Chain A
């Protein structure tokens, strides 16, 4: 069995601009289920700052009723066969995913097309959904991880950059959005042009393609003209914010920087560097120092998010409120070390082996394969990318790791958010 690639992924472009990618997994005897995944070129990027949360609200509200189905009918049809469909608004795109038994793929595609093409945003349903979103935002105010993340974004990105805002929005902005704002945003931004849909599972490609053409072929529409997400300047000093949340027992720390986008030439270098810093084994060097040697935290790791723009490169740790300063000192020391000292060749080889060796595991399920195909399309990596991946990682050197660390990280200039109990 080979890695997914041009030999078993088929790609079609429909007349309306939609891209369809498929891989028939039945030949690999996987379970009788099927995964649908994809995205549309619309997101929080297309909302004004005072409308923060609009794109996400619209994505959630699509499932609340169409010209053909009520909210109750949509979920009765899906849940009756154990299927699920979900749509979520991101920063630059709106993603969707669905899962069902293979025999129910026509139903899933029909519902998905219906909610994307014919939503009605019923007033009472919009109000119920608004209450759910506002409740979630109220819960967020007492969640140390989410508040640290919110504060971090405000510190690390310029005020009007889409990454500075929460895609879920804020109590004031979500409260102020009207039903018409939702309908208008949807009409302006939702369309098949640039939309990508991936189907992976126990379904023949020809059948899946015919079902997709049935469901989406007649959809004509436009999307916004949009520029790429803007680059952002480096964080040139220490920017720190503390969020006090009463009645909490642990503090959450996020220290980080705007990082490379998924298409940046040094993204893979950053992935390898990040694996050494905070992933390999039990959370890399950070896990070894902060958790294992010092016993300061249950978790202390790093992640480089990539994505369509300069997504964050962050160190995340949950520590006892008394240990925040000690943990920060250790975290900064590890960042300094990876910037100033070349990593050991053995350490580099370990992380590279992990990244390439874990590929079969990540591609074990239909879901994993669908995600890999989606990324290849979205970031124009080429359908042979997974097959070339080991070579690309293999070329990364000690020098490249140090260079990428110096380009993006800095132990003395960073954004730092800490959310936890107020000082005693």
Chain B
């Protein structure tokens, strides 16, 4: 067990990992449970299953029948939600600190006792199909889905967390329940509590509610390894519309590789300080290299970059919204010139220092709320470990201009990339 300054990291005898941090800035506490299952643990036929299981956990247990848990939380003034991502499924509640035990009771109960009533499974099928249809309305989703499917032909990162429509139409209640029984167990979970409480007392509560839950069997390992990419891949999506979108992804290192930090600095130089987790928004990026080369030059109306922390190697993504009147080819060519520049010439020390200062500010912002601190702790522990979070700024600060050039040369290869074009098609208007 690690203990210091109101922080505890430990594991219960049933292998549940526990992270506790006191924060006395507001009379609030946030409790999260993270399961190490997401679309990374899925395959064709059951894509979207982790997300659907997440929905089912809101459908009730014998102790907390449907609707009872969220109403109990709301009655205390709390927020309550769940999220599914590539590497995890997580549930959280933030409450006035004196009421936080309610959240522990709910999570300990539904780890084991969720009902999966067939009628509820049927009702939720159409809700999830509706969720997917809503996503399909968004050009960004459509392009991204096609692009990722091309970038990954073996690893499950190639599918979206919402899942393929055919799987959503055909998955059965028993498949969902099996997935739940396989992955929802203390040995595959992590609980995080941050807030206005005494750490020792919180550990006592966690032991009381989660200690009695039996350890589950070992979860099936993810064996998929994406083979090396042997050449550039390209995809085109055509839909009705007026605006073209460009997206290009490069295979990227995991958070545990030292290259990750140099690439994070390079990303900030190219596209500005982006948000540091899968949630939250970045700052403006109008002084970044790609903004100047594409937006200031009138080729695009916006650019962005994304380097996501993930367990297995993921991609680094660059996106642009094409300015009407300009072409996807022009945007691609201008982006290539900028990438060639960081390969050929080193960036400046000032640019690196700017990226580090931006990251420090982002850190301060993201740790402002207790919910944000709990999210960061849990997320770091899932993709790497909590030390990764603690050392993030130090690791970033150690990046040199040579490191930045080296990772540019290593990752920005044509053979390492997948390029996506969203081409708008204009038909006759059919308003009625």
Contact = CB atoms under 8 A, between A and B. Distances in A.
B123 interface: yes
Nearest to B350: A80
Contact of A363 (B26, B134, B241, B357): B26
Interface string B117-149: 000001111111111011011010000000000
A101 interface: yes
A366 interface: yes
A392 interface: no
B384 to A, nearest CB: 23
A70 to B, nearest CB: 11
Contact of B123 (A86, A141, A242, A293): A293
Interface string B359-374: 1111011011111000
B361 A320 contact: no
B260 to A, nearest CB: 20
B313 interface: no
Interface string A95-130: 000011100000000000000000000000000100
Nearest to A139: B243
A367 B78 CA distance: 18
A244 interface: yes
A295 B127 contact: yes
A142 B324 contact: no
B299 to A, nearest CB: 10
Interface string B11-37: 000000000000011111000000000
B77 A360 contact: yes
Contacts of A28: 25-26
Closest 9 CB pairs of A and B: A357-B77, A82-B361, A295-B123, A75-B286, A298-B131, A250-B133, A358-B77, A295-B126, A138-B242
A79 B123 contact: no
B76 A281 contact: no
Given A79-B354, A84-B283, A319-B130, A135 B137 contact: no
Given A75-B284, A134-B324, A138-B324, A250 B368 contact: no
A281 B94 contact: no
Nearest to A34: B364
Interface stretch (B66-74, B227-235, B340-348): B66-74
A366 B122 contact: no
A135 B243 contact: yes
A356 B78 CA distance: 10
A206 interface: no
Nearest to B321: A135
Contacts of A296: 126-127, 130
A131 interface: yes
Contacts of A138: 241-243, 324
Nearest to B356: A82
A291 B127 contact: yes
Contact of B361 (A33, A144, A354): A33
B223 interface: no
Interface of B: 24-28, 58, 66-67, 70-71, 74-79, 94-96, 122-131, 133-134, 136-137, 139, 239-243, 272-273, 283-288, 292, 295-296, 298, 301-302, 321, 323-324, 354, 357-362, 364-365, 367-371, 427, 430-432
B349 to A, nearest CB: 13
Contacts of B240: 142, 245-247
Interface in A301-319: 318-319
A29 B24 CA distance: 8
A84 B321 CA distance: 22
A243 interface: yes
A181 interface: no
A295 B125 contact: yes
Contact of A281 (B25, B67, B124, B321): B67
A143 interface: yes
A226 B123 CA distance: 52
A131 B323 contact: yes
Interface residues on A, range: 35 or more
Contact of A79 (B130, B133, B273, B370): B273
Contacts of B360: 82, 101
Contacts of A100: 361
A358 B283 contact: no
Interface in A238-293: 242-250, 280-282, 288, 291-293
A292 B371 CA distance: 27
Contacts of B431: 243-244
A82 B79 contact: no
B119 to A, nearest CB: 10
B368 A31 contact: yes
A392 B58 CA distance: 32
A297 B128 CA distance: 8
A361 B130 contact: no
Nearest to B285: A79
Contact of A101 (B77, B128, B361): B361
A350 B24 contact: no
5 contacts: A31-B365, A244-B432, A245-B240, A296-B126, A356-B77
Contacts of B127: 291, 295-298
A320 B165 CA distance: 14
Contacts of B96: 357, 360-361
A144 B138 CA distance: 9
A353 B76 contact: yes
A9 interface: no
Interface string A41-82: 000000000000000000000000000000110011011111
B130 A320 contact: yes
A354 B77 contact: yes
B283 A82 contact: yes
A358 B96 CA distance: 8
A138 B426 CA distance: 12
Contacts of A75: 284, 286-287
A83 B361 contact: yes
Contacts of B369: 364-365
A1 interface: yes
Given A143-B137, A242-B432, A281-B67, A366 B354 contact: no
A135 B324 contact: yes
B166 to A, nearest CB: 14
Contact of A354 (B67, B75, B273, B358): B75
Given A33-B368, A298-B127, A350 B302 contact: no
A98 to B, nearest CB: 11
B77 A366 contact: no
A132 interface: yes
Given A29-B24, A99-B365, A356-B77, A288 B286 contact: no
A249 B137 contact: yes
Contacts of A139: 241-243
Interface string A358-397: 1111011111000000000000000000000000000000
Nearest to B322: A135
